[in-house]
């Protein structure tokens, strides 16, 4: 369902990835590891069409992401992708329930459904009693869980999660990985999980490591 074909990306003089190939099947979970600054977040951003590529192709459900215009990329993200950003990107002027419901609002879903699903997802990440609270009242790990709820609320085909358990204790982190399994994998959705945790990586079907020489499979 996701295919990267000879993807090449440079920042100025620095070549980040060169001729990178990666294929992810429906329902497959791939852990992406690699040292800080190697290009993991950039890789997720390129797949989501948030960062242009210099050469190659990225296909999601057969759709070429680089070939889309801005409106097409927005639609693709809205309809098919759930993204847990490394820096959360929870919006400060919206309540937690409004933050989680945002993908459904953008998809034009009715208010009652948005409300119900946002509250249900917040409960699933352990924040059911905080739905009407504000981001500024939350700890880092709680914000991370709001970001996870928001990435799952519209039942995406592909989850791109950038260190989704980086701010969580091992038990809560494991519970979030359980949630990905029960909400996504059961419906055939795939995931790329960037992680520094070997514990989290071991739960995936495959581990790939980004290095200066390219992707190494393990
Ligand atoms: N817009 C940009 N312009 C120039 N260089 C950039 C830009 N964005 C990222 N970089 C550089 O590209 C490299 C890869 O960054 P990226 O954020 O993808 O790393 P990462 O593997 O996610 O690291 P970490 O594990 O620390 O999150 C870094 O050296 C970074 O400084
Ligand atoms: Mg990163």
Task: Express each pLDDT in 43-61 by its tens digit.
Answer: 999 999 999 999 999 999 9
Query: For residue 142, how far is its CA from the centre of ligand 2 (angstroms)?
Result: 19
What is the residue-averaged pLDDT of the chain?
A: 93
Q: Which parts of the chain are beta strand (E)?
A: 2-11, 14-24, 29-33, 55-60, 63-64, 81-84, 158-162, 190-194, 206-211, 214-217
Domain holding 108, by residue range, is 2-217
**How far apart, in whole angstroms, are the C-alpha atoms of residue 24 and residue 203?**
16
CATH for 169: 3.40.50.300
Answer whether 38 contacts ligand 1 (Cβ < 6 A): yes
Q: What confidence category does residue 218 fall into, taking pLDDT thresholds of 50, 70 and 90?
A: low
The total domain count for the chain is: 1
Query: For residue 34, how far is its CA from the centre of ligand 2 (angstroms)?
Result: 10
């Amino acid at each position: 369902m996701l295919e990267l074909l000879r993807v090449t990306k440079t920042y100025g003089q620095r070549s980040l990835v060169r001729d990178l190939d990666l294929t992810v099947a429906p329902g497959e979970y791939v852990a992406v590891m690699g040292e800080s600054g190697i290009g993991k977040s950039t890789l997720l951003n390129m797949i989501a069409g948030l960062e242009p590529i210099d050469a190659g192709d990225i296909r999601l459900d057969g759709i070429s992401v680089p070939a889309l215009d801005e409106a097409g990329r927005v639609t693709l993200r809205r309809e098919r992708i759930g993204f847990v950003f490394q820096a959360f990107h929870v919006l400060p002027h919206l309540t937690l329930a409004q933050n989680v419901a945002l993908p459904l609002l953008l998809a034009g879903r009715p208010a009652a459904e948005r409300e119900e699903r946002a509250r249900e997802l917040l409960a699933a990440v352990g924040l059911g009693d905080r739905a009407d609270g504000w981001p500024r009242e939350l700890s880092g790990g709680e914000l991370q869980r709001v970001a996870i709820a928001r990435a799952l609320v519209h039942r995406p085909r592909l989850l791109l999660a950038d260190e989704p358990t980086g701010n969580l204790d091992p038990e809560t982190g494991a519970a979030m990985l359980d949630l990905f399994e029960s909400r996504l994998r059961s419906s055939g959705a795939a995931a790329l999980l960037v992680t520094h945790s070997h514990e989290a990586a071991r739960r995936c079907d495959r581990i790939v490591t980004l290095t200066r020489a390219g992707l190494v499979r393990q």
